[in-house]
Amino acid sequence: MEIKKILKDRKLKIALEKAIKSYKSNFERVIEKYPQTIELAREVREIKKRSIDELKDNIKIAMESLEDNGINVHFAKDGREANKLIYDLIDGNTVVKSKSMTSEEIGLRNFLESNGIEVWETDLGEFIIQILNEKPMHVITPAIHLTKDRIVEVLQKEINSSSYKIQEIVDEVRKFMREKFVSARVGITGANVLSAETGSLILIENEGNIRLTSTLPEKHIAIVGVEKIVYGLSDALKVAEVTWRFAGYKMPSYVDIISTPSKTGDVEKVVINGMHGAKEVHVILLDNGRLKAAENDVLKEALYCLRCGACMYECQVYQNLSGYWGENYVGGIGIVWDYITKGLINENVFCCLLCGRCKEICPVNIDCAKINRWLRGVTFPNLNNNQCNERHYNCSVE
Ligand code: SF4
Ligand code: SF4
């Protein structure tokens, strides 16, 4: 969509204003109740820094630990390889899936659908995005750009509901999705953190759909960017806690820790897999530019990102353009991630005001302004300051 049109979109403005206001008051309450989160975030920056500095070793340790736990581990160097690996692992024609920016990055849903697989996004916001055939407009809240009325209209049509009450519609979506959870033989999730030491995936959620996606089908496949690996389990839990607090939650409804396939030892203490949860678990570790970025002194800071989404609520550009600013990833940090994972760079980089507000709120202090300035330099080396300013102006008022 053209920037001029986006800026004139009244409904988008209303939806964003409400979401931002709500996030800010939630976050204030979170920090009031748990002020220690600020100190913990500083510690998490050090954990992430260490993990990225030792990324290659951590990948090796994680692969060994996961295998030792009975989890099948695969390494994908890029999105194409990851999509193919996942497709080859799918039994049957139906897949349930939870929200995952890493899967968006590789275009997983489109790839599977174009190969005849029925994919159901089970997170409510992501389900709305799937129905509309759009992209997630925020890392935590995919349908942030839509008003309640528009969401009701979209869901009514999809699930044949005549209700205008959001609670009733949610109840109907729940019923609708239940059948998909039961019929799917494969569930696909991402992960927020992975502990290399114990081979444990940590997933944060509120809806309960990740639990169902990862346990009801016989096979669970988790697609995990390698930057999500930290060494110790206690470090991983600290990363998770800071992530949900900066996402605006005192506590999420659920924190899932998955370390092995479902198992029972109730018969003569012999381990048998697949009691009630997934019988088979596969972890796809995805590189897709991350290892190269980890070698770059400027870019590697972006790999500390927890995908909490806090920076977007603080950014003046995002507050006007929402997820229309960015390709797969969105906002100022999204410009950097589009570059890391796709080598993609365009006029979007000139939309950043280089104001540094995002760094102030970011739990791990990522300096998006510095990285975006660096990106302008490497990709448009012949532009002088005036030309950069002119491009920035054109981008803002196009
Ligand atoms: S530096 Fe760029 S991304 Fe960060 S808040 Fe300012 S405009 Fe947004
Ligand atoms: S850049 Fe920082 S604030 Fe933004 S999503 Fe990543 S961790 Fe959160």
pLDDT band at 398 (very low <50, low <70, confident <90, very high): very low
Residue 305 and residue 257 share a domain: no
Which ipTM did the prediction report?
0.99
End-of-domain residue from the set 244, 265, 291? 291
Q: What is the mean pLDDT of residues 328-351?
A: 93
End-of-domain residue from the set 291, 322, 347? 291
Residue 41 within any structural domain of the chain:
no
CATH of the domain at 315: 1.10.1060
Which amino acid makes up residue 13?
A: K
CA of 332 to the centre of ligand 1 (A): 6
pLDDT band at 329 (very low <50, low <70, confident <90, very high): very high
Residue 45 within any structural domain of the chain:
no
Q: Which atom of ligand 2 is nearest to the CA of 308?
A: 8
Q: Which domain holds residue 24?
A: 3-32+296-397
CA of 314, nearest ligand number: 1
Residue 155 within any structural domain of the chain:
yes
Residue 44 within any structural domain of the chain:
no
Residue 42 within any structural domain of the chain:
no
The residue to mutate among 314, 357, 396, having the most atoms of ligand 1 within 8 angstroms of its beta carbon, is: 357
Residue 111 and residue 13 share a domain: no
Residue 137 within any structural domain of the chain:
yes
CA of 296 to the centre of ligand 2 (A): 19
Residue 55 and residue 27 share a domain: no
For the chain, what percent of residues have pLDDT higher than 70?
Answer: 96
Residue 300 and residue 283 share a domain: no
Q: Which atom of ligand 1 is nearest to the CA of 335?
A: 3
Q: Is 269 exposed, middle or buried (0-12, 13-18, 19+ CB in 10 A)?
A: exposed
d(CA 117, CA 130): 14
Residue 141 within any structural domain of the chain:
yes
CA of 314 to the centre of ligand 1 (A): 8
Residue 388 and residue 246 share a domain: no
Lowest-confidence pick of 131-135, 178-182, 191-195, 379-383: 379-383
Mean pLDDT of the chain: 94
CA of 47 to the centre of ligand 1 (A): 24
Q: What is the mean pLDDT of residues 289-306?
A: 98
The residue to mutate among 322, 354, 368, having the most atoms of ligand 1 within 8 angstroms of its beta carbon, is: 368
Q: What is the pLDDT of residues 243-271, one digit of tens each?
A: 999 999 999 999 999 999 999 999 999 99
Q: Which atom of ligand 1 is nearest to the CA of 357?
A: 5
Q: What is the pLDDT of residues 70-80, one digit of tens each?
A: 999 999 999 99
Residue 315 and residue 285 share a domain: no
